[in-house]
Structure 1
Amino acid sequence: MLISSILTVTVPVADQDRALDFYAGVLAFEVRTDNPFPMGRWLTVAPKGAGTTLLLASWFPDMAPIGGLVLASPDLDALADRLRAAEVAFEGPEQQAWGCQLLFHDPFGNGFVVSQA
């Protein structure tokens, strides 16, 4: 086996403090690293217990927002309530042929699909 896992996915953000408020505050992700870096901070977050982290990178100003990153949740209704309380626009939860899902964007235009786990 040449590759055994995905460690980190880079998510472009314009403001790392605002991103941290969203990912750690609204989504309740854990902060895995928050260290000085020559171009900002090496700031990674992840759902509790997850192996793959999201690198909230502000040093790629020309990088387009990502789309279609799929997350999992055991309770899409609770997630919808949390997003609604934080005034985050979202679609769903909606039952599809392949399962139940919810869609949202972070404050920087990065798009996520959340599937019922």
Structure 2
Amino acid sequence: MRAISIISIPVTDQQVAKEFYLKMGFKIMVEAPFQGDSMWIQMTLPDVETSITLVNWFPELKAGSIRGFVINCEDLDADIKQLTDKGIEVGPADKTPWGRFATVNDPDGNAWSLHGK
């Protein structure tokens, strides 16, 4: 084993979630029909191996239940400003012994931690 390839992010509306993640800076890798009315929407940040897929077909994964995923930032303050300028609400940057963190919630409430100096 060498890397985590895909992380499933549970959402209620795949298209609304896709637009949010595009604003966050993710790029679409794959968007294709999947099961029934669902789509396979796979996205990634630039120059990153790990991707996410926006899922609504796992009943045990409740939309908004994701916590604890961390996105590393080169310049946390600049990224917070960029996201805020795009209309994305970012929580305050909290300082911890292991770095600074700010929380971003997607439209369903899945929480991402932005981490930087």
**Structure 1-normalised TM-score?**
0.86
Q: Which runs of 5+ in 2 are unaligned?
A: none
Matched, 1:51 2:49: yes
Which of the two has greater strand per residue? 1
Kindly provide the amino acid, as one letter, of the partner of residue 63 in structure 1.
L
Deviation at 1:61, TM superposition (A): 4.8
| TM superposition shift of 1:84 | 2.2
Q: Is the CA contact 1:14–1:61 (under 8 Å) kept in the aligned structure 2?
A: no
SS at match of 2:9: strand
Q: Kindly, what percent of the aligned residue pairs are identical?
A: 27
Which residue number in structure 1 is paired with residue 111 of structure 2? 111
Q: Report the CA distance between 1:72 and its aligned residue.
A: 0.7
Q: CA RMSD in A?
A: 1.7
TM-score, scaled to structure 2: 0.86
1:79 maps to: 79
What residue identity is the alignment partner of 2:79? L
Runs (4+) of structure 1 exceeding 4 A deviation are: none
Structure 2 SS opposite 1:51: coil
Deviation for aligned residue 1:62: 4.9
Structure 1's unaligned 5+ residue stretches are: none
- SS of 2:93's partner is strand
Query: Of the candidates 27, 38, 41, which is equivalent to residue 39 of structure 2?
Result: 41
Q: How far off is 1:12 after superposition?
A: 0.4
The number of residue pairs the alignment matches comes to 114
